[in-house]
Amino acid sequence: MNIGKHKRCNMNRFLYIILFLATLLFSCKNENNKPIVTQDKKPKNILFIAVDDLRPELNFYGAKHIISPNLNKLASESLVFNRAYCNIPVCGASRASILTGMRPTRNRFFDYSTRADVDVPFATSLPKFLKQNGYTTRSNGKIYHQIDDDSLAWDAIWFPDGNIRNYQLKKNIEENGNANLAVAGATAFEMAEVNDTAYFDGKIAQKGIADLKLLKNEKKPFFLALGFMKPHLPFTAPKKYWDLYDRNEIELPQSYVQPETTPSEAFHNFGELRNYGNIPKSGEIPDDLAKELIHGYYACVSYVDAQIGLVLDELKRLDLEDDTIVVLWGDHGWNLGDHKLWCKHVTFETALRTPLLLKVPGKTSGQTTDAITEYIDIYPSIAELVDIENVPKTVQGKSFVPLLKGEKSSKDWAVSKFKDAVTYIKGDLFYTEWIKDDGTAYARMLFDHSTDSLELDNLAEKPEYREKVKALSKDLREKWGKDFLSE
């Protein structure tokens, strides 16, 4: 008998047993059902949160008077985009542009009633692209402006029942009936002693929570889109959120003026607000009413913040947090008395600049970027983050994923438009032209944010800026490309 060989065999068996036990140990899960040793893998799920009319007046953008602890927490775990811009400042068109990754043109993605499946029926939207690549896709609340737009992209579409304007006070309900638009007598704001679920956003949050529980048990990755309604008009929120703010401390914006140097084309009569019965049909908004509107907007921001917090808490409770990318965006900016304007529908920065947060587990932790980003960049970025190639050729955006690696963006410009107005953003310069069908400009506006962040001094007609305007006009047309006057 070969004793040495026998010992070596026993030793080999011993090592095999040790290796087997070690493998078994490290593959076991603890009492919280989490792997003891985590793998270095990319998150696969996507929580896509849209907030209607949310402007970047938030703590992490320097507005310390806003009470939004849940958005603040999300920002501390995300990459915060300081210079994100919508491609068109009107909800329906902006959402169609974001979800298809395509720019608006002169006659495509035009206004609030835009339908992506009508304007670009040949396009593969982001949810449809993900669905084709094995994702469960669910739309809750307001994602597209038209609820049934791009319906084949979704495994399920849900929208809360009731009056879209969400009045709860008996007087307001009786006066407004079930109207989907503001009508004579409707109020632009409401402060009611009701629970959070009395208004749509509370219901949307609860539906999102229920969906997360459902999706956790599926074996497929998910794309869960939650479209919150506030702070869109009317400013209706439970009283406790109004009580967070002192009306006496609310001030009108520094830019509460319309300088003579700014072309008249830049202003409008904010008809969206004028539709409400307690708003003057013409002229300026009285200061006290302006402050009441601002108060209502702030209350709605705090209200929707609380609802988003509930969803994010559930994501964590279900142990989905480490495997889920979170993207939060507002569909455009909003004028809250800036330039004595209200609502969107203009190309001042207040209507174009938007909040954008990207949380990628293991990759983001409160970083900020000043890279100029367009909303059409969201689509290709999500595709890259979840390792799906062959993005449709119709997608015109550029992935901002290199920013997560600390790389510098290779694109330092953005283009936005509203009706005839096209704005080219390059560095600190914001240049706008109002353009006829034949491509000629009939008004211009240029602001240098390095010296005029409030956009009160239009430089476009000053002789010393003639060559600069000429160069910017050329760049604008080159960047807009073939879509400049496209059908």
Catalytic residues: 91, 145
Pairing of strands 342-343, 335-336: antiparallel
Q: Are 321 and 216 in contact (CB under 8 A)?
A: no
- The tokens for 244 are 């967070």
End-to-end CA distance of the chain: 91
Closest CA to 141 of 214, 229, 212: 229
Query: Is the Cβ–Cβ distance between 360 and 325 less than 8 Å?
Result: yes
Q: CB-based contacts of 99: which residues, under 8 Å, 6+ apart?
A: 116, 125, 126, 127, 143, 144, 150, 379
Contact, 138 vs 225, CB < 8 A?
A: yes
Q: Which residues contact 309 (CB under 8 A, 6 or more apart)?
A: 69, 70, 73
Does residue 43 contact residue 363 with C-beta atoms inside 8 Å? no
Q: Is 6 exposed, middle or buried (0-12, 13-18, 19+ CB in 10 A)?
A: exposed
Contact call for residues 445 and 431 (beta carbons, < 8 A): yes
**Half-sphere exposure of residue 9: CA atoms within 13 angstroms, side-chain side:** 5
Helix or strand run (H / E) with residue 311: helix 287-317
Structure tokens at 225: 């889109």
* Nearest of 2, 22, 47 to residue 382 by alpha carbon: 47
